[in-house]
Amino acid sequence: MFLDILFLGSALLTVVSAILVLTTRNIMHSCIFLLGSLIGIAGLYATLGADFVAVTQVMVYVGGIVILMLFAVMLTGGKDFVSKAQSLLGLMPTMGNAWSYGVGGLVAVVFLLTNVQLLSRLGAMAQKKNDGSFESTVNKIGHLLVKDHVLAFELSSVLLLGALVGAAIIARPRKQ
């Protein structure tokens, strides 16, 4: 019962916030709605029993990436702060007209039907039910990270170091 309520609340928060990211014109408001969507996804992780992933999601995304995005928006605000692109049905800023979006929607429907056809047999694999009995995954994830996935773990540390140095070099002030 509690699981159902948590799932419904998180799903609603995720989907509504994601759609608001799409439809709002102010880029700052988009960032704030992305925050709501990411918190909703952390709640969905919690309903799946993925406690470590949920906490990492909140710490890295909500505490790090969205703050970085807000800093970038505020540092580069200026005249692109509010989108002045043409709108589709007055709902959202767009780059095309109704014709191009119609073709895009047709392609999306074909793509979706093909994928449903291809992936429908995967549904038979999902025999397990979410019975609400959870156990902590932190211990197992720690063992997996230093045993089975140690190469990816070390590579990700090198990637983070490279991203850190690269970001500092790219954004450094230059003499004109």
Q: Which of residues 124-153 bind other proteins (CB under 8 A)?
A: 125-126, 128-130, 137, 140-141, 144-145, 148-149, 152
* Strand ranges for the chain from DSSP E: 87-88, 92-93
Q: Which residues pair with 88 in a beta bridge?
A: 92
Q: With respect to other proteins, which residue has the nearer C-beta, 106 or 148?
A: 148
Q: Which of residues 59-88 bind other proteins (CB under 8 A)?
A: 60-61, 64-65, 68-69, 71-73, 75-76, 78-80, 83, 85, 88
111-138 burial, b if ≥16 CB within 10 A, otherwise e? eeeeeeeeeeeeeeeeeeeeeeeeeeee
Is residue 27 a contact point for other proteins (CB under 8 A)? yes
CB 10 → other proteins: shortest distance, Å?
9
Helix (H) or strand (E) holding 169: helix 150-170
Is residue 163 a contact point for other proteins (CB under 8 A)? yes
Binding mask 92-111 for other proteins (x = CB under 8 A): xxxx--------x---x---
Rounded to an integer, what distance in angstroms lies between the CA atom of residue 33 and that of residue 16?
9
Largest Cα separation within the chain, whole Å, is 64
Is residue 47 a contact point for other proteins (CB under 8 A)? yes
CB 54 → other proteins: shortest distance, Å?
9
Angle at 8 between CA 3 and CA 11, to 5 degrees: 120
CB 98 → other proteins: shortest distance, Å?
13
